[in-house]
Structure 1
Amino acid sequence: DSTEANSRRGEERRRGEARMRGGGGGMMDDGGVEHAQIPNSFGHELRACLRCRLVKTYDQFRENGCENCPFLDMDKDRDNVVSCTTANFTGIISLMDPNRSWAARWLRIGRFIPGCYTLAVSEELPEEYQGMCQDNNVQYFPPKRP
């Protein structure tokens, strides 16, 4: 039915426009996150998660946490945002389909949700939070040392 197809295309366009505005992460029908928030500013307030390297603004991490690392509770405790993110990172890559991206596999971020990621962070996740990763059966790869 062409009316149903037009309605579906309109909904897809609205979701795409919301993503471009950097709104909240998209939600799937089952309540899971479809994509991470897109940074709504590209200034000095950008930060990268030390575990998954997702890039958002400080305020976005504070308000919504990290979509890949909800167990770090960044949305519940501002100190966790400071401890688990860094403003010291190199480059940004935007991933639309991490499962199929050779770059995502090369960067070890192929299992994360679509979003903006840094190429590299130079700081390690504090030991206390590395323990939280282990407790949640989540892998953590420390940054490579030159």
Structure 2
Amino acid sequence: MSSRSERACMLCGIIQPFKKFYSAGCPNCESLLHYQDNEDGQIQDCTSPSFEGTVALGADNKESWVARWLRIDSFAPGLYAVKVNGKLPPDIIRDLEEQNVIYRPRDGSAED
């Protein structure tokens, strides 16, 4: 369920148009993935046009069991994908690990 312009961040799952990732970055992951004004393919590599299900996250997200289940309860309000098809490139995963960020793929393959 995605249009061609909408993409989901592979790290947090937020859904935004490509242009918004480019102009404003990701409200949750910008300090890690640096989408804003990035012309070297970061948006193509770290977001996916293929995702399933959507959840609207409001300002009172701490009370939402769905937000806790999806691990988005500390993220900015917005529209999130339940499942994002694709995985971050290995070099990005290494960069995240160096920053002590645990990457759990949002494609359903992560085991807890």
When normalised by structure 2's length, the TM-score is 0.84
What CA RMSD, in Å, does the superposition of the two structures yield over aligned residues? 1.8
The 1-side partners of 2:77 and 2:14 are apart by 10
**More helix as a share of residues:** 1
| Equivalence for 1:95 | 57
| Equivalence for 2:34 | 73
| Equivalence for 2:103 | 140
Larger deviation, residues 113-122 vs 42-51: 42-51
> In the alignment, does 2:11 pair up with 1:51?
yes
Q: Which amino acid aligns with 1:144?
A: G
The 1-side partners of 2:62 and 2:48 are apart by 25
| Equivalence for 2:74 | 111
How far did 1:59 drift? 0.2
The 2-side partners of 1:132 and 1:98 are apart by 28
Larger deviation, residues 124-133 vs 52-61: 124-133
Aligned pair count reads 105
How far did 1:54 drift? 0.7
The 1-side partners of 2:81 and 2:90 are apart by 21
When normalised by structure 1's length, the TM-score is 0.66
Question: How many percent of aligned residue pairs carry the same amino acid?
Answer: 34
1:123 to 53, 62, 86: 86
How far did 1:87 drift? 0.3
The 2-side partners of 1:63 and 1:49 are apart by 15
Q: State the 4+ residue runs in structure 1 displaced beyond 2 angstroms.
A: 135-139
Structure 2: which 5+ residue stretches go unaligned? none
Which one has the largest radius of gyration? 1
Structure 1: which 5+ residue stretches go unaligned? 1-41
